[in-house]
Structure 1
Amino acid sequence: MVRRDGDMIPFDLDSPYDFMEAPELIGSTNGWITSLVDGRVCLYTHRGKRPDHERIWLPALESLPLCQAQVVTNVAMSSSSPEEEYRVVAVKFLGPQLSISQLISRRHAQVEVEGIHIRISNPCFFSSPVMYSEKEDMFRIVGSGGHLVGSWDLRKHKDTPKIQRLQFQNLPEMSKAKRELLYSCNTSEHLVESRTTGETFMVKWYKRTSKTIERMETKALMVFKIDEEGNAVYTQDIGDLCIFLTMTESFCFPACSVRHMRPSRVKIMDVDEITIVDLAAQKWN
């Protein structure tokens, strides 16, 4: 089971790959495996980690006008603990739709008490994944390009998101060859939050097709520390933390709680590659 850094338990890097071949698999969130089965999202624990193998079924998916609810980008969950009475789950679809369900546990029975479907108006959020921020107690999406961060919840910001505009600072000086390389890459942005330090980071992930075989490989990573004023400061030093980028979820741990990881490293676990990037070793000129 994937554990957040607040748990302070050594992270088991041996992923349960036996379930990854399932065609209905979406990915994972906060230690739960997520699948799309017969038009419903199912969250469940891995049998090898929890003998009781709890399952949570979300309500049947509904498509808003001019939206689709068949292709899921990812799923984000507010808490990993089955003992939590209150949990919220967000399903981000490719395109404008974001669905949020509020769940309450009563004697280990899951009851869906409120569910909403949101049509996002700004196209910059259409292809981005959603993440849960414990610090903000909201679901957050970084827009394409990394200039905007939108936040949604079931209270004040379910119709109109809270928007944060980012200002990039401390950008490294790059050679012409490096700039041209980055311009030629497919770029995606990912938000991560450390529950230990309360810090928020945005990772810009640059990938390009390999020259030797038909697969995408990482060419560079840029990490920005984001504060409450929207300053996005480039850094190669994230302290004792390390970051994980996966197909559906990005998260942050203290390096001391993760076997075989060192501070200021990013472990990439993607479809085409599994590698570790040393942020301090990256050269831009």
Structure 2
Amino acid sequence: MSRRIIRLSKLSSRNNNAFIQKCVRFFSTGPYLTLGCNTGDVLLFDPAKEQIIVTLQGKTIPKELKDEEMIGASHGWGFFYDRRDLSVRMSDIFNPLASKSNPTVIPLPRLTDLPSEQIEQVCNVAMSSPSPLGDEDCVVAIKFSGDQLSLCRPGRDLEWTNTSTPSHCCIHFFSYHLNDENIEHHKLVYRDHPELDQSEWKTLSMCSRREYLVESPSSDERYLVKWYAQGSYSSVLNGIDYKTKRFMVFREEETAEGKFMCYTEDIGEMCIFIASNETFCIPASSCPGLKPSTIYFMGHGFGSYDLTTGDTHHYKAPGGVITTPCWIPLVSI
């Protein structure tokens, strides 16, 4: 099966990493999982304390967001879509340090050049910088089902640049750069898979599998996460209910023979956060209560997965329906 992974690059990733390293020292809040808004209160889940918190009580919900659907998040910014007029907006409404009375809302170009059925199926949203207004090179990318990818620069572009991701029979990821129309192809070559017996591999082959590319904010390390979920019929859902079976993490390593994705059960003090947001990782030491070498997830279940032991810890699922749960990264004061 063809699998495609997309990474959005800045012009200078080295400078971007330096910015994040500098900010890490001043981080104080989060990460949190968004649970939506309830009569003006922003509801968040704190994985370090394993509890739901109500933050920013009485926060003003911008009128232009009240009837819009959240389609993803990146760098703490939520992205919202209005099915009626195809408009897209981004907002820092879930940022605990954002203005209570006047959250920032940035309008993006309307998605008028795409078929309506394709717009309905957003896979993920990514942004190249945490400062969409302060960084003129910031790019937003929306990946739809199939091969459709749309890009724009917030506050600068009047329309989306629509492109198609290449199709390959092997596993690749692709880099897009602002001043270069050529797409960089990066083939993923795997080494050192886990030692599992034949029955375990057979079980995994029947599981649903999702893949996520994660880059460390404080180094050049890159990880690829494979998320396996086993489906079974649920009479309550009247459909298939998926439960997390296991995760696999591969770290990119450079050798004399080239770059390889090598299986690992130890990512040091890093924690990885996966939901409907752009996947990210942070050091556990940056937020007391987080566990190192752990994946925090929401989707096929809700919990944390210890890479070292292979144990899954399940959190109590919040009440109500959360259509687009997103992890909001650490926020600096």
Q: What is the TM-score normalised by the length of structure 2?
A: 0.67
Deviations 1:73-104 (A, max 9, x none): 1211122235523221111111221111123x
Deviations 1:15-57 (A, max 9, x none): 3412499761112111011111131221101165311311111
Residue 252 of structure 2: aligned partner: 226
Question: Is 2:243 the partner of 1:217?
Answer: yes
How many angstroms does 1:224 deviate by? Answer: 0.5
Whole-Å separation in 2 of the counterparts to 1:118 and 1:195: 28
- The answer to whether the 8 Å contact 1:11/1:259 transfers is no
Q: What is the TM-score normalised by the length of structure 1?
A: 0.77
Residue 3 of structure 2: aligned partner: none
Question: Is 2:97 the partner of 1:49?
Answer: yes
Larger radius of gyration: 2
Distance 1:14 1:77, change over 3 A: closer
The letter of the residue matching 1:153 is H
Residue 127 of structure 1: aligned partner: none
- The answer to whether the 8 Å contact 1:96/1:123 transfers is no
The letter of the residue matching 2:261 is A
Residue 8 of structure 2: aligned partner: none
Deviations 1:224-276 (A, max 9, x none): 01246431010011111111111232110011013421211111122x52111
SS at match of 1:230: strand
Residue 150 of structure 1: aligned partner: 174
Question: Is 2:91 the partner of 1:91?
Answer: no
Larger relative contact order (CA 8 Å, sep ≥ 6): 2
> Superposition pairs for residues 1-285 of structure 1, below 5 Å?
6=21, 7-8=23-24, 9-19=27-37, 24-37=69-82, 38-46=85-93, 48-51=96-99, 52-63=102-113, 68-81=118-131, 84-86=134-136, 87-103=138-154, 110-112=155-157, 115-122=160-167, 147-156=171-180, 158=181, 160-210=182-232, 214-227=240-253, 229-270=258-299, 272-282=300-310
SS at match of 2:118: coil
Aligned pairs, how many? 250
Whole-Å separation in 1 of the counterparts to 2:175 and 2:31: 31
Distance 1:69 1:154, change over 3 A: farther
Deviations 1:94-122 (A, max 9, x none): 1221111123xxxxxx3327742112231
Whole-Å separation in 2 of the counterparts to 1:123 and 1:168: 16
How many angstroms does 1:14 deviate by? Answer: 4.3
- The answer to whether the 8 Å contact 1:165/1:230 transfers is no
Residue 130 of structure 1: aligned partner: none
Report the aligned-residue RMSD.
2.9
Deviations 1:105-155 (A, max 9, x none): xxxxx332774211223167xxxxxxxxxxxxxxxxxxxx7x211111232
Whole-Å separation in 1 of the counterparts to 2:116 and 2:33: 37
Give structure 2 stretches of 5+ with no counterpart.
Answer: 1-18, 38-42, 44-65, 312-333
- The answer to whether the 8 Å contact 2:231/2:243 transfers is yes
Whole-Å separation in 2 of the counterparts to 1:231 and 1:64: 37
Whole-Å separation in 2 of the counterparts to 1:179 and 1:204: 14
Whole-Å separation in 2 of the counterparts to 1:5 and 1:243: 16
- The answer to whether the 8 Å contact 1:10/1:259 transfers is no
Whole-Å separation in 2 of the counterparts to 1:245 and 1:15: 10
Whole-Å separation in 2 of the counterparts to 1:185 and 1:22: 35
Distance 1:166 1:259, change over 3 A: same
The letter of the residue matching 1:162 is E
Give structure 1 stretches of 5+ with no counterpart.
Answer: 104-109, 125-144
Q: Which moved more, 1:64-73 or 1:199-208?
A: 64-73
The letter of the residue matching 2:109 is P
Residue 128 of structure 1: aligned partner: none
